[in-house]
Structure 1
Amino acid sequence: MESIAVAAGTTLVGALAGDGWPAARAEVVAFWRRVRADEADAVADDLAELRAEVLAARQAGDPELERALVEIWQRRFQELLRPDPELAGELRSIVDRHLTPTLTPAERADQEERRDRPR
């Protein structure tokens, strides 16, 4: 799986759990609208549901559910990029400029650690 898809899925789940979730959601939906406009409204709904699921997983102390949600969105980003790998740069920019800043310091450190791990 392309590393930006992995980073985007991981970062998105963390971003939607925090206070900056409206901006994170808006950026991802706008990206989807540019790439696959016909799916953007469904993605907006899916992200609202994802937020509720992530918050419930965290409240229940269920890291396995959170990991499963991350994996789902990693695959969705991978599928989005597959037909046009050139979109990876734009997705990287969204992750770096709009999603990562919404993470807690601990989540940012974890994200950096994952990025630095060899694949």
Structure 2
Amino acid sequence: MRESWVRLLKLCCFGDLHYIGDKAWLNNYFLPKVSENCAGCDAAVIVGDVSGTGRLEHVRELLLGVKRVFQGPIIVVPGNHDIYVLQDEQDRGLNSLIKLSMFNRLVRDLGCVTLML
């Protein structure tokens, strides 16, 4: 018998998207799949490698798209590709810890939750 305080959550989980800015893929394939498969879920969880390039603008594009089609909480766990430091970023003195901080700030600023602080 389940205790009265226990509530099961239905999660929509996906990862290793490696999004590289292909808006046709995002809008015509991926977001319709999210809308279809995440309907009725309590939260969406993206488990790593949102971006395939380390470019935060790609993370931003994808998360904004997911927010358009899924109204619940979105939890994001960064992967190694998300905090990959690009050459131009290295030239400006960035390292992976700074990049992780930038990733986390972006995710929070978009109203999502990050699980790697």
For the criterion TM > 0.5, the same-fold answer is no
The normalised TM-score by structure 1 is: 0.27
Q: TM-score normalised to the size of structure 2?
A: 0.28
Q: Where is the helix percentage greater, Structure 1 or Structure 2? A: 1
Flag the structure with higher strand content.
2
Higher relative contact order (CA 8 A, sep 6+): 1
